[in-house]
Amino acid sequence: MRFALIGLCVGTNHASSLTGSRKSTSASSSLAARLTDSELTGLLEQLIGQSDELVKRVQDLERVTPKEFEVLHYNVLADQVGTNKLPWFCYGAGLTNNERKELHARFYAAGDANKRLLDKGWPGWARGVLSDERIQAVQDYDRRCFAWESRAEKLWQAVSSHKVGCRVRSPDIITLAECDHFDDFWRGRFDDAGFDAVWRKRPRQVSHDGCTIAWRRSTFELVASGGYNFGSRMDSQSPDRTCAFALLSWRRDPTVRVLVATTHLARSPMDEDQQMARGFQYGSLFRELLAFAGAHDAEEVPVVLTGDLNAKDCDELAGTARALVRLLSSPTHPLMWSVTDVPTPPTTVTEERQLRIDYLLYQSTSLRLTGVGSLPKLSSPIPDEIHPSDHLPVSARLVLKPHWAQVEDDARQWLACVSGTTASRPLSGDALRVAFTYFDKDASGIVSLVQLEAAMATLGFPGLDTEFVRAALVHAGCYNPSTAELGARLPWWKGKGIEEDRSWAMNLEQFVQVYTHAVQHGSSTSARQLEMAFAQFDDDDDGVMTTEELRQALHRMASAPIDEERLQVVLDELSGNDGKITIASFGDWMMNTYKS
């Protein structure tokens, strides 16, 4: 040990000299022999002190350096269901629309026990529609592009070497749907590449796949993991799908944490009957996410949610889930009010469909999107010789926002909505209070047009006329001419002693009222989501709901016992005296609930 320390000291002394020549081995030995124990101890203490100082400086850099990371999600097409011998595939046979429709009917035909035939008896259910030659073509394609042996390494390459911006490397966080072969394939690959991972199997006994979350161990370490199970349909007697959670901390700054969730919602995105089930599942996810975060003191931790949501439009899921939360007064994670999706082109391409159903969602109050992975434009269905799944991997780069940036963004969203520019996300009650403090620079409890004008350029709205705020105040019923004579002193930088017309100023209540009026009557994301939610509850699509229609829908979708007395109060408020609920009354009630 002593000689090792001597060698370290001597080697360090040599490295510090940029002009000195390399010493010979004999000279080094001679120098080491002349050093006393006290000199060695002093030199070692000096090195330790320098090392400690270096560690402190690195830690200081870690604290001020933006925490940026890359995340990728991929539905890898489970080996268990990865076969071309299914009616929605059958690549190589050159199917017409009518032939495919007939194959679907045969495939789902009821058997003796009133159960579908599944894949049993291939090619029996295809005979009479496909000739022997076309059946052989399906089987040849299956062997080349669907067999696990031909896909496994290609899947790993797609995950481990992905391009975001100009960088090609493996992401920091990877989530997988339909992941089987975890123990005999994925775990080893992740470990060799420097990743740790958790896998949560689907609860159904006959299903071998599940959801995986993996993270680069040099960047993150696991604080806690968990998840929950749910059914494919609202009336499912037993759960058959799952969602996985992983709470991660930054290895070099454990005070910084990220909560990752991934799931795979009910199948068949073209099936409208399943859309309500997915809305129910999506809403339940936020409730369970809140429970998991609360159990680990992580309610304020930024969240990334990924998954194959099987939804053609994520806004439809969000609208249904948010309506349920308000109608049933259910607790939910703050992510529900600040979730934003990473924009991507279609993520699945088959002969039947070309859709975007795989999503990367993030909490935009605390995370900012800085890059999106590119996807190829496909003219032929997948999987094929190049793409080993019927889905494409989606990826993005995110950075954690400092608190001041979160406050600024809430204020920007308020301005975007009220000025008629579609905001990227709705604002929660807490976010509206935060936005108000941004404009209320003097903490007077009043936001004036002068203060708004001063903030516009900073928020990216230079030259925007405050006339839109005047109009919004009038339309929202907040304009009060009687207060004009009271006056409100301008900020000092606008000139001392100058008074402004206070009738155009807003307190917090009016600030919220202006926003909710703009949401309800504008073209914002929230208004669109309300309309889509109403359509989900309106069974006969006549634009009018009865209270009984809504009651039955809520009972179908509630994931916990309903307070019937509270529900009756809600239904009475919604319907008025005639028992009918229109989109207007639905929107008014939602906005009033929002404001309160």
DSSP character string of 135-147: HHHHHHHIIIIIS
Which percentage of the chain shows pLDDT scores above 70?
80
> Residue 492 domain-assigned?
yes
Query: Which residues of 345-463 form beta strands (DSSP E)?
Result: 348-349, 354-355, 358-363, 367-372, 394-400
Of 362, 385, 401, the one marking the end of a domain is 401
| Cβ contact 508:408 at 8 Å | no
Q: What is the mean pLDDT of residues 464-474?
A: 73
Predicted pLDDT at 245:
99
- DSSP label at residue 184: I
Residue 299: which CATH number?
A: 3.60.10.10
Sequence-separated contacts (24+) of 465-470 with Cβ below 8 Å: 468/418, 468/419, 468/420, 469/418, 469/504, 469/514, 470/504
Are both 390 and 417 inside the same structural domain?
no
pLDDT, residue 163, reads 66
CATH number of the structural domain spanning residue 420? 1.10.238
Structure confidence at residue 27 (pLDDT): 53
Handedness of CA 411, 416, 418, 422 (dihedral sign): negative
Q: What is the DSSP string of 19-37?
A: SSPPPPHHHHHHHHHH--H
- 441/391 Cα distance (integer angstroms): 49
Q: Give the model's pLDDT for residue 556.
A: 75
Directed axis angle between helix 449-456 and helix 429-439, to 10°? 90
What's phi and psi for 30, nearest 5 deg?
-65, -40
Residues 6+ apart with CB under 8 A from 121: none
- Final residue of a structural domain among 401, 416, 449: 401
**Radius of gyration (C-alpha) of the chain in whole angstroms:** 30
Angle 460-466-470 from CA coordinates, rounded to 5°: 140
pTM of the model: 0.78
Residues 439 and 551 in one domain: no
Say which CATH number the domain at 559 has: 1.10.238.10
**Using N-to-C axis directions, what is the helix angle for 547-557 and 272-295, rounded to 10°?**
60
Q: How far apart are CA 557 and CA 547, in angstroms?
A: 15
Instruction: Provide the 3-class DSSP secondary structure of residue 338.
Output: helix
Residue 249 maps to a domain: yes
First-last CA distance in the chain = 71
Domain boundary among 351, 384, 401: 401
Neighbour-count burial of 34, counting CB atoms closer than 10 A to its CB (0-12 exposed, 13-18 middle, 19+ buried): exposed
In the DSSP assignment, the letter for residue 444 is S
Q: Can you tell me the distance from the alpha carbon of 27 to that of 296, in angstroms, rounded to the nearest whole number?
A: 59
Q: Is residue 536's pLDDT more than 90?
A: no
Phi, psi (rounded to 5 degrees) for 398: -125, 150
443 and 361 in a single domain? The answer is: no
Please tell me the predicted confidence (pLDDT) of residue 16: 42
pLDDT of residue 422: 62
Are the CB atoms for 396 and 369 separated by under 8 Å? Answer: yes
Nearest to 259 by CA among 159, 361, 344: 361
Report yes or no: 286 and 230 within 8 Å, Cβ to Cβ.
no
My answer on whether 216 and 296 are in the same domain is: yes
Q: Are residues 289 and 438 in the same domain?
A: no
Same domain, 447 and 332: no
Please determine, for residue 502, whether its predicted confidence score (pLDDT) is greater than 80.
no
Are 515 and 542 members of one domain?
no
Is residue 88 domain-resident?
Answer: no
Distances (CA, A) of 203 to 198, 199, 405, 457, 559: 15, 12, 41, 53, 18
Helix (H) or strand (E) holding 148: helix 148-160
Give the three-state DSSP class for 99.
Answer: helix
Residue 139 lies in a domain: no
Domain encompassing residue 211: 68-81+145-401
DSSP secondary structure letter of residue 132: H
Kindly list the distances between the CA atom of residue 500 and the CA atoms of 174, 442, 455, 481, 495, in Å, as whole numbers in the listed order.
Answer: 55, 15, 17, 13, 11
Residues 6+ apart with CB under 8 A from 469: 418, 449, 452, 504, 514
* pLDDT at residue 393 tops 90: yes
Could you give the 3-state DSSP secondary structure of residue 474?
Answer: helix
Using DSSP's 3-state secondary structure scheme, residue 398 falls into: strand
Co-location of 163 and 199 in the same domain: yes
199 and 323 housed in the same domain:
yes
**Domain presence at residue 179:** yes
Q: Output the pLDDT for position 397.
A: 95
- Kindly report, residue by residue over 98-151, the tens digit of the pLDDT: 999 999 999 888 765 545 544 557 999 999 999 999 999 999 999 999 999 999
Does residue 132 belong to any structural domain of this protein? Answer: no
**110 found inside a domain:** no
Domain count, the chain: 4
Q: Are 430 and 105 in contact (CB under 8 A)?
A: no
Residue 560 lies in a domain: yes
Overall residue count recorded for the chain in this entry: 596
Q: For residue 365, count CB atoms less than 10 angstroms from its CB and return exposed for 0-12, middle for 13-18, buried for 19 or more.
A: buried
In a shared domain, residues 305 and 447: no
Q: Are 474 and 579 found together in one domain?
A: no
pLDDT at 443: 87
Which one has a higher pLDDT value, 63 or 562?
A: 562
Distance from C-alpha of 65 to C-alpha of 423, rounded to nearest angstrom: 29
Structure tokens at 206: 């006959």
Q: Are 285 and 376 within one domain?
A: yes
Q: What average pLDDT does the chain have?
A: 82
CA atoms of 56 and 53, how far apart (whole Å):
5
Q: Which residues touch 40 (CB under 8 Å, ≥6 apart)?
A: 2, 5, 6, 9
Nearest to 392 by CA among 347, 346, 342: 347
How far is residue 431's CA from residue 413's CA, in Å, rounded to a whole number? 10
Q: pLDDT per residue over 50-68, tens digit each?
A: 887 887 776 666 665 678 9
Q: Quick one: pLDDT band at residue 172, thresholds 50, 70, 90?
A: very high
